[in-house]
Structure 1
Amino acid sequence: MVEGSLRQVAQRPPLTLPPSATVREALAGMNQQQAETLVVVDEQEQLPLGIVTLNDLVYAITLDGGGLEEPVAGMMTAAPLSLPADAPTHRATVLMAKRGVRHIVLLEPDGRLCNVISRADLFGLRGGGADLLAESVTAAMDVAQMAQAAAAIRQRGSELFAAGMGAEAICHWMSALNDLVVMRVIELIEDEFDLPAVPWCWMVMGSEGRLEQTFATDQDNGLVFQADDASAAIRLREAFLPFARAVNKGLDACGFTLCRGGIMAGNPAWCLSLAEWQARFSDWMRTPDPKALLHSAIFFDFRPLYGRYELVDELRNWLLPQPPEHPRFLRALAVEALSCGPPLGWTGGFVYDGGIEHPHSIDLKRFGARPFVDAARIWSLMYGVWATSTGDRLRAVAEPLNLSAEQVAGEVESFYLIQRFRFRQQLVAEDPDDVNRVDPDTLNELHRLMLKEAFKQAKKLQLRLKLQHGL
């Protein structure tokens, strides 16, 4: 399985040639390096001009009558699809599926070529009937058809879960397809509005931002746009809000229920200019009151989904160095995280939190998954990690925390084990209040033991947080 950034996925240097190189030279280079693609680059600046695949060359020679001495630039795909080299792998997975391409060029921050990745390098939409489901999403022509496609994805996801697909794998599988659903809904509704001619991007946050959507999920989203000043931001917000509310309504029709807390792009509070988003994050870090901490648990997991990704990347790049400059904020996050401990007593037995309404049960979202999610978020903010998923964050902070590969693997596996128990409960629960609750007595002896071991890992994470912040 591939996690982390796209830079980590690319295992070997790319094959590059100048525009003046011949098809013969291209074929020779591909044969020598056993490569299926090459990038045509500007010789001086190393800027990518286009991409050429082996299939392109074979087609040009055999069917179009191209010659071996012709310049390879004449057969390249100019302005190829590209992403920042440090972007998460999930972004490339979804982009490839949406655009129907098999390769993406990776760029350094200054625009120079870093590498090339192919669809085969990525994890997320492999197998499980994903290709057909993705086609049904992209072919949908209205929200009603999208709702049918979204229901089919959830049904297929439950079948894959029952067949034994791992929890992390199914999270990536469903997140990739759900992203396509949301993107298609936005596309369909965008055509109905005369939107301002400024850069904008739809962001997702919370569990969707972390690629950890389960079978019972609501919306957490926002919108960022470019504005020259405060007055322009007010005017643009009024123009975007009807569109954003229509998208929220469309997503609700597709099974992504409206957020009860109003954290949606259709809420004026979360339809903001880039400068306003920066100010909002700054306020939360400077004044870590309870409301700021609550918002931190949702908004700091943001990622771009539709529109001008560079706006959200700019917000992320601006944010990454900020948290270490606000130790009081990080300490407050740690205090809040430690207020929700794993449900194990001093003797090693389970501690139940359901009270009279849900006797003998444990909330696996709040007391099982949350300790991992919160700790991973805090460390990602401390160490400037771009990743948003809990598993990727825990892997990324292993080095600064001086953790062994075995320790990290134990933490990640424990988190996804708890997620697996949550998935199973969500598929059988009849009461919406029970979708994250489990009665340990309904588990067999082995599963009870596994759950206890996962909670012990969560205790270790929280002990590390406590020592770090002197709590």
Structure 2
Amino acid sequence: MKNTISERVADFLKNYPPFSALESGQLETLSYEVTIVHKENNSIIFSEKEAPHDCFYVVHKGAVALTKKGSTQILDICDEGDIFGLRPLLAHENYKLEAKAHEETILYAIPIKEFKPLALQNHRVGDFLIESFASNTRNPYSQKHRGKLYGITTASGDGGGTETKLLDLQPVRYSSDLVTCTEGTQIKTIANTMGKHNVSCILVVKEGLPVGIITDKDLREKVATGLFPITGNAKSIMTTPAITYPKELTVTQAQMAMMKSNISHLVLTEDGTTDTPAVGILSKHDVMVAMGNNPAVLLRAIKRAKDSKRLRGIRQNIVSLLQGYLDENIPIGLVSKIISELNDATIKQVIDISIKKMETEPPVKFTWLTMGSQGRGEQLLNTDQDNAILYENVPDEESEATRDYFLKLGSIISTELNTIGFEYCPAEMMASNPLWCHSLDEWKEVTTHWMGNPGPDEVLLSSIFFDFNVTYGEKALADQLSLHIFDNVKKFPQFLTHLASGALQNPSPSGFFRDFLVEQDGAHKDFFDLKLRALMPLVDAARVLILSHSVKSINNTAERYEKLAELEPQNKEVYLACSYASKALLKFRTKHGLLHNDSGRFIALDKLNKEEKIKLKRTFKTIKEIQSLIEIRFQVKTLLR
């Protein structure tokens, strides 16, 4: 009678090194001796400095975390097919790490007594073990983990290591020797002070915080020309508010910021806002000194483009830049900021081109709002459009004509965006649609209706719209709308419960023992829906949580979680895990979208390598944790869990 359990063991082991190098007879013999071990979540398999067992382990289902004693930092995660605990057996030494079940786990315990003779007989197995010792990793064929199993990071002196960084992403040096004055300081005194310190600008402060800046250009154009007397004060000629950024600024971000606002100096503060003291001043000269090849070249090209055909070509260069950053393993948070800035600049140029196609200038001030992934700064690939127009209130007699103007403008802009590569929204959530083109008061009425009558459709529309970001035009209009929305959050507390319920509707990404749940029918049958099952649960949860804290101007999902970690220290661990997971999933989707020239939404699991599957599965536990948190907090009883 056949031993079906041993056959199943053999069928599993043959897919992973070094067992894949064994002959079928050898593997069959070994499988008879394997013991199946079940471990509950957080149970110890072996401890640091413990004497080695008479077997090593292979993860069959679940995951095992390897840590140093007394540390909460996980040095490595062993997933399905990974071996651990082998080196101490061969080197005759105690365990150097602690192994703990990271969740409910099933292990195959391989007796070293039975395995060692097979390794001696099969040179391919021996080669694997020798290379494993040399590279200090449980899989010597993985370049990424080479030398890192015990938390050791090796430097490469030949330029071939993964530490190579692009020059334009290096932190830029700035001057920390601040020269300041107050709003009441006389202009003559300011000029003398700048000359004495040989600086090109002076920072205007009030109660220790930056409120404005005066440059030598201001003195030339405002004072030397006679527009303002030299006996005037700083407040009369300063540029306010000061344009502030965080001190951890890269060369690329600095140059793009200057070009974006057409300024030559940036004020650097502790948190990047005017609410904290300045720590330095960055000039255009500082940037030029540090500059290497960077996307600022693309930004200049975008601003010089006169038609959509030219912009479409530049868009291809942006995609190439994105691919290069991913190949260099640049942090996805930084990559998304750069690509989003380039996307915003492209949209702005499209709007300027479109306005010139209109017979007249806009009748009133307006704002172009980008929504969805672009509004969150997460649209790295050319996906569909989600946008809206918000314009100033007008008298009733001008309402129809004003709406017609902006609908026509919205239609032209959407067409131009489609020309350069942004697909039309299938649901027509675009400014060319009358439902997405309103005055400020009309938008207030629309959002009030959504929040006061939160049915499924209203919750869906809110989820898309509430990620809006100002790409062009009058930011003050959007700020007024944001304040109205936050007021309504307090007025309609049940809205957050409905929004939280909507955030729980997306099905779980995994089933029993972390198997992927795939589409059961349709065009994407047997594919994994990365957007619906993994990304959107994190996006939706971040939105409802940040709304509950009335935090505006933070739309990016990872940044929302980082802000939540500050606001709720008791939940810091889960929020930071969500931030990490959202960036990991965004990077994964972007890579696969570039690889297959699509949106990266649907993933063919059989095309993934083992490392990619492990990365995906590691985010699933985080998704379940954040969904449990919002279910409890907002007292949601959802139908789909």
The equivalent residue for 2:258 is 96
1:142 aligns with 2:142: no
TM-aligned CA deviation for residue 279 of structure 1: 0.7
Distance, in Å, in 2 between the alignment partners of 1:244 and 1:422 is: 30
1:11-55 deviations in Å (ceiling 9; x for gaps): 999833344124333456x68xxx8742347x89x995x6234x7
Q: Go from structure 1 to structure 2 and tell me whether the alpha carbon gap of 1:168 and 1:85 turns closer, same or farther (over 3 Å shift).
A: closer
TM-aligned CA deviation for residue 418 of structure 1: 1.0
Residue 38 of structure 1 aligns with an amino acid whose one-letter code is I
1:39-86 deviations in Å (ceiling 9; x for gaps): 347x89x995x6234x769x98xxx9xxxxx87979x97545656999
TM-aligned CA deviation for residue 349 of structure 1: 2.0
1:205-241 deviations in Å (ceiling 9; x for gaps): 1111100103131111111111234443332111222
Aligned pairs for 1:40-439 (under 5 A) are 40=204, 51-53=213-215, 78-79=238-239, 82=242, 96-103=258-265, 129-193=294-358, 194-355=360-521, 357-386=523-552, 387-403=554-570, 405-429=572-596, 432=598, 435-439=600-604
Question: Helix, strand or coil for the counterpart of 1:320?
Answer: helix
Task: Give the structure with the higher percent helix.
Answer: 1
Residue 260 of structure 2 aligns with an amino acid whose one-letter code is K
Residue 583 of structure 2 aligns with an amino acid whose one-letter code is Y
Gaps of 5+ in 1: 1-10, 65-69
Q: Choose 162-171 or 265-274, whichever is displaced more.
A: 162-171
TM-aligned CA deviation for residue 343 of structure 1: 1.1
Distance, in Å, in 2 between the alignment partners of 1:307 and 1:171 is: 22
Instruction: From the CA coordinates, give the structure whose radius of gyration is larger.
Output: 2
TM-aligned CA deviation for residue 332 of structure 1: 1.2
Question: Helix, strand or coil for the counterpart of 1:129?
Answer: coil
1:402-440 deviations in Å (ceiling 9; x for gaps): 44544332211111111111112111225x5x7312233
Distance, in Å, in 1 between the alignment partners of 2:608 and 2:628 is: 28
Which of 440, 448, 469 aligns to 2:605? It is 440
1:39 aligns with 2:203: yes
Question: Helix, strand or coil for the counterpart of 1:351?
Answer: coil
Q: Choose 435-444 or 325-334, whichever is displaced more.
A: 435-444
Gaps of 5+ in 2: 1-175, 225-229, 285-290
TM-score computed with the length of structure 1 as normaliser: 0.81
1:342-372 deviations in Å (ceiling 9; x for gaps): 3111322222125364343211111110011
Q: Go from structure 1 to structure 2 and tell me whether the alpha carbon gap of 1:280 and 1:52 turns closer, same or farther (over 3 Å shift).
A: same
Kept in 2: contact 1:128–1:160 (CA 8 A): no
Kept in 2: contact 1:22–1:71 (CA 8 A): no
Distance, in Å, in 1 between the alignment partners of 2:282 and 2:440 is: 32
Residue 97 of structure 1 aligns with an amino acid whose one-letter code is M
Q: Go from structure 1 to structure 2 and tell me whether the alpha carbon gap of 1:404 and 1:289 turns closer, same or farther (over 3 Å shift).
A: closer
TM-aligned CA deviation for residue 250 of structure 1: 0.8
Q: Go from structure 1 to structure 2 and tell me whether the alpha carbon gap of 1:93 and 1:368 turns closer, same or farther (over 3 Å shift).
A: farther
Question: Helix, strand or coil for the counterpart of 2:514?
Answer: coil
Residue 385 of structure 1 aligns with an amino acid whose one-letter code is V
Counting aligned pairs with the same residue, the percent is: 26
Question: Helix, strand or coil for the counterpart of 2:512?
Answer: coil
TM-aligned CA deviation for residue 325 of structure 1: 2.7
Distance, in Å, in 2 between the alignment partners of 1:359 and 1:197 is: 50
Kept in 2: contact 1:245–1:265 (CA 8 A): yes
Distance, in Å, in 2 between the alignment partners of 1:160 and 1:77 is: 42
Higher RCO, 1 or 2 (CA under 8 Å, sep at least 6)? 1
TM-score computed with the length of structure 2 as normaliser: 0.60
Distance, in Å, in 2 between the alignment partners of 1:128 and 1:265 is: 36
Question: Helix, strand or coil for the counterpart of 1:51?
Answer: strand
Distance, in Å, in 2 between the alignment partners of 1:301 and 1:411 is: 18
Distance, in Å, in 2 between the alignment partners of 1:91 and 1:197 is: 34
Distance, in Å, in 1 between the alignment partners of 2:606 and 2:200 is: 54
Residue 305 of structure 1 aligns with an amino acid whose one-letter code is T
